[in-house]
Each structure stands twice: as C-alpha cells, then as structure tokens.
Amino acid sequence: MPRLYKPSSLQECLAALASDGDAAPLAGATWIMRASSRGEQARRTYVAVNGLKELTSVQVRDKSVSIGAAVTHEQLAAVLTDLPELQVLAQAAAHSANPAVRAVATIGGNLCAHSFHAADLVPALLSLDAEVVVARQTGTDQLSLGRFLQIRANLEPGTIVTNVIVPRRMALSAHARLPLRAAGDYPVAIISVCMSTDIGGVVTQARVAIGSVEQVARRWSELECVLVGCRLNPNMFARYADELRDSLNGRDGTEAPGWYRVKVVPTLVRRAIGQACKTVAT
C-alpha cells in the first residue's frame, strides 16, 4: 500500500525523496491518481509538496515572475490577470481541463507528467522562454524548459521542480486550443504564441510553441523563422503554418488521429495570432 508523507519544509521533502528511490512528489494528484488507468504501478511513497510555503507562492518581479511548483492553475490564472505580457500563460491556466481539476492541478505537475501529451501550460511556458528550477539535497539547478522536457522522465531520484521562472519581456501573446467539446476536456492541438513587433506592426521576434500534436510539446522554429519580418496578419500566418505542416509529426491517440491534429494547426495559428493582436501591453 503506498505511503503518503507530509513534510513540513523543503529540506524535509528533499530528504524524504532522497531516502526512498521509489518515492515521488505529489501535489494536486490529478495525474498520479490515474496511474492505474494508464497501466502504471503506484510508487511506494508519495511526498506531499502542496503544503510547502516555498512552492506555493508567485513572486512578480520587474523582469520576471517566479512561480512555485505547487501553484494551481486556478491561482495562476488569477495572479496573471494583470500582466498583459503573460496572457498566453493566463489563458492556458484558465482554460485547461475543468474548474475542479484547475483548483488542484499544479504547474509543477503539468511539467513533470511526462506521459501527458496535452498539457496546456507546457507550450505556453515554451513560448515565454521559461526556465525551470530543480532542487535536490546537494543544491539547485536552473535550466531551460526545453532542456527540462528532454530529461524529465529520467530525473535523478530525490529531485523536484521547485519554481518556474518566466521572463517579462514580450508584448503580444495568446494561447489557442482545440478540445473536442467546447470546453472541459483535453485539447487535440494547442498553439501558444508570443511576439514582439516594431511600431509598424512588423514582427521582430516570434516564439510559437505547439502542444498535444506531437508526443512532447516543442517550439515550432520553422514557423518562427518565417514570421519574423512579416506584418502581423492572422490569415497570412495561418497560410504559412499550412505550408509548414509537413514539419509536424502528429501523434495518434484515442481522441484524434495524428493527421487530424496536424490539420487543425493552421486554424489554431490564425486564432492565436488574432487573439494576440488584441493584447495590449502596458
């Protein structure tokens, strides 16, 4: 029978994780509680991290926002409401899953659930060029989210995500997702965009991330290269996305086949760019 340990500090948490090679951190539990439905074995020990004050706060600084790993989607959406440059993340947090799941599911869980392909926060954070802070008893590391996604399935035992650092620098951003129902379920495809423009509306920097389409969310660098230097135009950008569809490798899943996920991407690009154009940075 799995144990549930509730540490009172981050140090206790790290010690507990290090002392048991089959221990895993537990926050909202929404992914872990479904382990058996995925045919996965339960861990011997779970270490609750959602009571640790070090992991439950959001600190808004001049140039970045530090988000504790145990901050819930609901909390995140509320905190980011007044930060126009992070609207992509606010929208992702506010529309993922459904209200009851958003109330408990955390940003750390969303990043660490490596077999969850449809996580909303991952592409949003990729588009914002976020970094991830991981801690173990011997110290901490800060690495790019892209790098973290590559290694997350094989993190050294005793390692946890403590914070996500999001730079505050781009002006226009938006998150577009396509669930099969109007809302409340997993998206078939996700596009997160974050762009800066000159005063004439020409894109000077573009970050486009794609989620749920492939096995792991990633930046769509082929499209980003094309968009830089173009005037903001949702329909035109959707056409560019359509021309680059061959660079995507759609995954087959119970909700949708891979070809369908790829097919809807240009529409989501148009919606995301259109939404981003409405964003006004302060």
Residues that bind other proteins (CB under 8 A): 1-4, 26, 28-30, 33-34, 37, 42, 46, 48, 50, 97-101, 103-104, 181-185
Angle, CA 178 vertex, CA 176 and CA 183 arms, to 5°: 100
- Residue 17 CB, nearest approach to other proteins (Å): 17
- Residue 212 CB, nearest approach to other proteins (Å): 16
- Residue 263 CB, nearest approach to other proteins (Å): 24
Return d(Cα 168, Cα 272) in angstroms, integer: 19
Considering beta carbons, is residue 107 or 166 the nearer one to other proteins?
Answer: 107
- Residue 106 CB, nearest approach to other proteins (Å): 12
Q: In terms of Cα–Cα distance, which of 142, 122, 120 is closest to 131?
A: 142
- Residue 90 CB, nearest approach to other proteins (Å): 16
Within 10 angstroms of residue 204's Cβ, the number of other Cβ atoms is: 11
- Residue 127 CB, nearest approach to other proteins (Å): 24
Burial of 98 (0-12, 13-18, 19+ CB in 10 A): exposed
Considering beta carbons, is residue 12 or 242 the nearer one to other proteins?
Answer: 12
* Helical (H) or strand (E) element with 106: none
Considering beta carbons, is residue 24 or 130 the nearer one to other proteins?
Answer: 24
- Residue 108 CB, nearest approach to other proteins (Å): 15
Burial of 83 (0-12, 13-18, 19+ CB in 10 A): middle
Considering beta carbons, is residue 31 or 237 the nearer one to other proteins?
Answer: 31
Return d(Cα 195, Cα 166) in angstroms, integer: 15
Return d(Cα 162, Cα 111) in angstroms, integer: 11
Considering beta carbons, is residue 94 or 194 the nearer one to other proteins?
Answer: 94
Return d(Cα 71, Cα 7) in angstroms, integer: 17
Tally the C-alpha atoms within 13 A of residue 29's C-alpha that lie toward its C-beta: 9
Return d(Cα 172, Cα 223) in angstroms, integer: 17
Considering beta carbons, is residue 99 or 229 the nearer one to other proteins?
Answer: 99
